[in-house]
Structure 1
Protein backbone atom coordinates (compact mmCIF):
# COMPACT_ATOMS: atom_id res chain seq x y z
CA UNK A 1 0.00 0.00 0.00
CA UNK A 2 1.17 3.55 -0.72
CA UNK A 3 -0.04 6.69 0.98
CA UNK A 4 -0.52 9.09 -1.93
CA UNK A 5 -2.45 12.15 -0.83
CA UNK A 6 -4.41 14.13 1.67
CA UNK A 7 -7.34 16.30 0.59
CA UNK A 8 -8.45 19.55 2.17
CA UNK A 9 -12.03 20.65 1.62
CA UNK A 10 -12.41 24.42 1.52
CA UNK A 11 -15.02 27.07 0.96
CA UNK A 12 -12.50 29.20 -0.99
CA UNK A 13 -10.37 26.98 -3.21
CA UNK A 14 -8.59 29.82 -5.04
CA UNK A 15 -7.42 31.35 -1.75
CA UNK A 16 -6.19 28.04 -0.35
CA UNK A 17 -4.44 26.95 -3.54
CA UNK A 18 -2.73 30.36 -3.71
CA UNK A 19 -1.55 29.95 -0.11
CA UNK A 20 -0.06 26.48 -0.68
CA UNK A 21 1.57 27.46 -3.97
CA UNK A 22 3.26 30.40 -2.24
CA UNK A 23 4.16 28.43 0.88
CA UNK A 24 5.61 25.42 -0.95
CA UNK A 25 6.80 26.83 -4.27
CA UNK A 26 4.86 24.03 -6.00
CA UNK A 27 2.42 24.96 -8.79
CA UNK A 28 -1.01 23.37 -8.56
CA UNK A 29 -2.48 21.25 -11.32
CA UNK A 30 -6.15 22.17 -11.70
CA UNK A 31 -8.47 19.36 -12.86
CA UNK A 32 -11.60 21.54 -12.63
CA UNK A 33 -12.46 24.82 -10.96
CA UNK A 34 -13.35 22.74 -7.89
CA UNK A 35 -10.25 20.54 -7.61
CA UNK A 36 -6.50 21.11 -7.67
CA UNK A 37 -3.42 19.10 -6.66
CA UNK A 38 0.06 20.09 -5.54
CA UNK A 39 2.30 17.10 -6.27
CA UNK A 40 5.60 16.53 -4.49
CA UNK A 41 8.02 13.61 -4.71
CA UNK A 42 6.50 11.99 -1.62
CA UNK A 43 2.78 12.74 -1.77
CA UNK A 44 0.09 15.00 -3.15
CA UNK A 45 -1.86 17.73 -1.40
CA UNK A 46 -5.31 17.78 -3.00
CA UNK A 47 -7.62 20.73 -2.47
CA UNK A 48 -11.30 20.45 -3.25
CA UNK A 49 -14.16 22.89 -2.99
CA UNK A 50 -17.17 22.11 -0.86
CA UNK A 51 -19.01 21.23 -4.09
CA UNK A 52 -16.83 18.12 -4.49
CA UNK A 53 -18.08 16.61 -1.23
CA UNK A 54 -21.57 16.16 -2.66
CA UNK A 55 -20.09 14.05 -5.46
CA UNK A 56 -18.61 11.32 -3.25
CA UNK A 57 -19.93 11.63 0.31
CA UNK A 58 -22.60 14.29 0.88
CA UNK A 59 -22.25 16.01 4.26
CA UNK A 60 -19.13 14.08 5.27
CA UNK A 61 -16.61 16.97 5.31
CA UNK A 62 -16.87 20.57 6.48
CA UNK A 63 -14.38 23.26 5.47
CA UNK A 64 -12.23 25.02 8.08
CA UNK A 65 -13.27 22.51 10.77
CA UNK A 66 -10.04 20.61 11.46
CA UNK A 67 -8.36 20.53 14.85
CA UNK A 68 -6.61 17.16 14.77
CA UNK A 69 -4.36 16.97 11.70
CA UNK A 70 -1.04 18.68 11.00
CA UNK A 71 0.05 18.84 7.35
CA UNK A 72 3.84 18.49 7.19
CA UNK A 73 6.40 19.46 4.58
CA UNK A 74 10.07 18.46 4.67
CA UNK A 75 12.06 21.49 3.43
CA UNK A 76 15.75 22.22 2.91
CA UNK A 77 15.73 25.47 4.92
CA UNK A 78 12.90 26.04 7.39
CA UNK A 79 14.30 29.44 8.40
CA UNK A 80 14.20 30.48 4.73
CA UNK A 81 10.57 29.36 4.50
CA UNK A 82 9.81 31.49 7.55
CA UNK A 83 11.49 34.55 6.03
CA UNK A 84 9.60 33.97 2.77
CA UNK A 85 6.23 33.74 4.54
CA UNK A 86 6.75 36.37 7.27
CA UNK A 87 4.76 39.05 5.42
CA UNK A 88 2.22 36.59 3.98
CA UNK A 89 1.04 34.38 6.85
CA UNK A 90 -1.24 35.86 9.46
CA UNK A 91 -1.11 33.05 12.02
CA UNK A 92 2.29 31.68 13.01
CA UNK A 93 1.86 29.23 15.90
CA UNK A 94 5.60 28.95 16.52
CA UNK A 95 8.58 30.50 14.78
CA UNK A 96 11.36 28.12 13.72
CA UNK A 97 12.27 26.04 16.77
CA UNK A 98 14.57 23.03 17.13
CA UNK A 99 12.53 20.17 18.54
CA UNK A 100 13.86 17.47 20.90
CA UNK A 101 13.55 14.84 18.13
CA UNK A 102 16.02 16.71 15.91
CA UNK A 103 13.87 18.69 13.48
CA UNK A 104 13.79 22.47 13.21
CA UNK A 105 10.08 23.22 12.79
CA UNK A 106 7.86 26.13 11.81
CA UNK A 107 4.20 25.71 12.75
CA UNK A 108 1.52 27.93 11.25
CA UNK A 109 -2.14 27.95 10.25
CA UNK A 110 -3.28 28.11 6.65
CA UNK A 111 -6.15 30.47 5.69
CA UNK A 112 -8.72 27.82 6.71
CA UNK A 113 -7.07 27.32 10.11
CA UNK A 114 -5.40 23.97 9.34
CA UNK A 115 -2.09 23.43 11.11
CA UNK A 116 0.92 23.25 8.79
CA UNK A 117 4.43 22.26 9.85
CA UNK A 118 7.49 22.99 7.72
CA UNK A 119 10.56 21.20 9.07
CA UNK A 120 14.23 20.61 8.39
CA UNK A 121 16.15 17.77 10.05
CA UNK A 122 19.16 19.24 11.87
CA UNK A 123 20.61 16.51 14.10
CA UNK A 124 22.56 13.59 12.60
CA UNK A 125 19.81 11.12 13.57
CA UNK A 126 17.04 13.26 12.04
CA UNK A 127 19.09 13.88 8.90
CA UNK A 128 19.65 10.14 8.52
CA UNK A 129 15.97 9.39 9.09
CA UNK A 130 14.87 11.66 6.25
CA UNK A 131 17.76 11.02 3.83
CA UNK A 132 16.52 10.34 0.32
Structure 2
Protein backbone atom coordinates (compact mmCIF):
# COMPACT_ATOMS: atom_id res chain seq x y z
CA UNK A 1 0.00 0.00 0.00
CA UNK A 2 1.22 3.52 -0.79
CA UNK A 3 -0.09 6.71 0.76
CA UNK A 4 -0.36 9.00 -2.27
CA UNK A 5 -2.45 12.05 -1.41
CA UNK A 6 -4.47 14.10 0.99
CA UNK A 7 -7.48 16.13 -0.14
CA UNK A 8 -8.64 19.38 1.43
CA UNK A 9 -12.24 20.44 0.88
CA UNK A 10 -12.86 24.19 0.67
CA UNK A 11 -15.49 26.75 -0.27
CA UNK A 12 -12.85 28.69 -2.26
CA UNK A 13 -10.66 26.40 -4.37
CA UNK A 14 -8.80 29.18 -6.20
CA UNK A 15 -7.86 30.95 -2.95
CA UNK A 16 -6.61 27.78 -1.25
CA UNK A 17 -4.74 26.54 -4.32
CA UNK A 18 -3.08 29.95 -4.69
CA UNK A 19 -2.02 29.85 -1.04
CA UNK A 20 -0.51 26.36 -1.34
CA UNK A 21 1.26 27.31 -4.58
CA UNK A 22 2.87 30.21 -2.71
CA UNK A 23 3.93 28.25 0.35
CA UNK A 24 5.14 25.13 -1.48
CA UNK A 25 6.49 26.63 -4.71
CA UNK A 26 4.61 23.88 -6.58
CA UNK A 27 2.32 24.79 -9.47
CA UNK A 28 -1.09 23.14 -9.30
CA UNK A 29 -2.55 21.02 -12.06
CA UNK A 30 -6.24 21.83 -12.51
CA UNK A 31 -8.65 19.08 -13.60
CA UNK A 32 -11.80 21.18 -13.19
CA UNK A 33 -12.58 24.53 -11.53
CA UNK A 34 -13.49 22.43 -8.46
CA UNK A 35 -10.37 20.25 -8.30
CA UNK A 36 -6.62 20.84 -8.45
CA UNK A 37 -3.55 18.90 -7.36
CA UNK A 38 -0.11 19.99 -6.17
CA UNK A 39 2.19 17.04 -6.79
CA UNK A 40 5.43 16.77 -4.84
CA UNK A 41 7.97 13.95 -5.23
CA UNK A 42 6.57 12.19 -2.16
CA UNK A 43 2.84 12.90 -2.12
CA UNK A 44 0.06 14.96 -3.71
CA UNK A 45 -2.01 17.65 -2.03
CA UNK A 46 -5.43 17.80 -3.68
CA UNK A 47 -7.79 20.74 -3.19
CA UNK A 48 -11.46 20.28 -4.01
CA UNK A 49 -14.55 22.43 -3.80
CA UNK A 50 -17.59 21.67 -1.71
CA UNK A 51 -19.55 20.72 -4.85
CA UNK A 52 -17.37 17.59 -5.12
CA UNK A 53 -18.51 16.34 -1.70
CA UNK A 54 -21.80 15.11 -3.16
CA UNK A 55 -19.81 12.57 -5.19
CA UNK A 56 -18.73 10.91 -1.93
CA UNK A 57 -22.02 11.27 -0.09
CA UNK A 58 -23.67 14.41 1.17
CA UNK A 59 -22.13 15.59 4.41
CA UNK A 60 -19.09 13.31 4.14
CA UNK A 61 -16.70 16.28 4.39
CA UNK A 62 -17.04 19.88 5.53
CA UNK A 63 -14.69 22.74 4.65
CA UNK A 64 -12.73 24.69 7.24
CA UNK A 65 -13.58 22.34 10.14
CA UNK A 66 -10.36 20.34 10.58
CA UNK A 67 -8.73 20.39 14.01
CA UNK A 68 -7.15 16.94 14.05
CA UNK A 69 -4.89 16.60 11.00
CA UNK A 70 -1.57 18.35 10.37
CA UNK A 71 -0.34 18.47 6.77
CA UNK A 72 3.43 18.17 6.90
CA UNK A 73 6.12 19.19 4.43
CA UNK A 74 9.81 18.39 4.92
CA UNK A 75 11.82 21.44 3.88
CA UNK A 76 15.54 22.12 3.60
CA UNK A 77 15.63 25.00 6.10
CA UNK A 78 12.71 25.81 8.40
CA UNK A 79 14.20 29.14 9.47
CA UNK A 80 14.57 30.28 5.85
CA UNK A 81 10.95 29.24 5.19
CA UNK A 82 9.86 31.25 8.23
CA UNK A 83 11.45 34.35 6.70
CA UNK A 84 9.98 33.60 3.26
CA UNK A 85 6.44 33.11 4.62
CA UNK A 86 6.40 36.27 6.75
CA UNK A 87 4.91 38.49 4.00
CA UNK A 88 1.99 36.06 3.49
CA UNK A 89 0.48 37.04 6.84
CA UNK A 90 -0.34 33.43 7.76
CA UNK A 91 -1.63 32.63 11.22
CA UNK A 92 1.51 31.35 12.94
CA UNK A 93 0.83 28.68 15.55
CA UNK A 94 4.46 28.02 16.46
CA UNK A 95 7.60 29.83 15.33
CA UNK A 96 10.53 27.59 14.36
CA UNK A 97 11.20 25.32 17.31
CA UNK A 98 13.32 22.20 17.72
CA UNK A 99 11.03 19.40 18.87
CA UNK A 100 12.03 16.61 21.30
CA UNK A 101 12.08 14.07 18.42
CA UNK A 102 14.72 16.06 16.53
CA UNK A 103 12.78 18.02 13.93
CA UNK A 104 12.88 21.79 13.71
CA UNK A 105 9.26 22.72 13.11
CA UNK A 106 7.17 25.72 11.98
CA UNK A 107 3.39 25.44 12.43
CA UNK A 108 0.95 27.74 10.64
CA UNK A 109 -2.59 27.70 9.26
CA UNK A 110 -3.88 27.91 5.71
CA UNK A 111 -6.72 30.37 4.91
CA UNK A 112 -9.32 27.75 5.93
CA UNK A 113 -7.62 27.17 9.29
CA UNK A 114 -5.99 23.82 8.44
CA UNK A 115 -2.74 23.25 10.31
CA UNK A 116 0.50 22.96 8.32
CA UNK A 117 3.91 21.88 9.60
CA UNK A 118 7.10 22.74 7.75
CA UNK A 119 9.90 20.74 9.34
CA UNK A 120 13.58 19.97 8.94
CA UNK A 121 15.25 17.00 10.65
CA UNK A 122 18.17 18.45 12.63
CA UNK A 123 19.46 15.66 14.86
CA UNK A 124 21.28 12.57 13.51
CA UNK A 125 18.38 10.38 14.70
CA UNK A 126 15.77 12.52 12.96
CA UNK A 127 17.80 12.62 9.76
CA UNK A 128 18.13 8.82 9.84
CA UNK A 129 14.33 8.40 10.32
CA UNK A 130 13.67 10.48 7.22
CA UNK A 131 15.80 8.26 4.97
CA UNK A 132 13.50 5.86 3.15
Superposition TM-score, scaled by structure 1 size: 0.97
Query: 1:80 matched to which residue of 2?
Result: 80
Instruction: Point out where structure 1 has 5 or more consecutive residues left out of the alignment.
Output: none
Q: How far apart are residue 59 of structure 1 and its match?
A: 1.5
RMSD: 0.9
Q: How far apart are residue 81 of structure 1 and its match?
A: 1.0
Q: How far apart are residue 62 of structure 1 and its match?
A: 0.7
Alpha-carbon distance in 2 for matches of 1:90, 1:56: 31
Instruction: Point out where structure 2 has 5 or more consecutive residues left out of the alignment.
Output: none
Superposition TM-score, scaled by structure 2 size: 0.97
Query: What SS is found at the alignment partner of 1:96?
Result: strand
Alpha-carbon distance in 1 for matches of 2:6, 2:81: 22
Query: What SS is found at the alignment partner of 2:87?
Result: coil
Alpha-carbon distance in 1 for matches of 2:42, 2:57: 27
Query: 1:100 matched to which residue of 2?
Result: 100
Alpha-carbon distance in 1 for matches of 2:38, 2:109: 18
Count the aligned residue pairs: 132
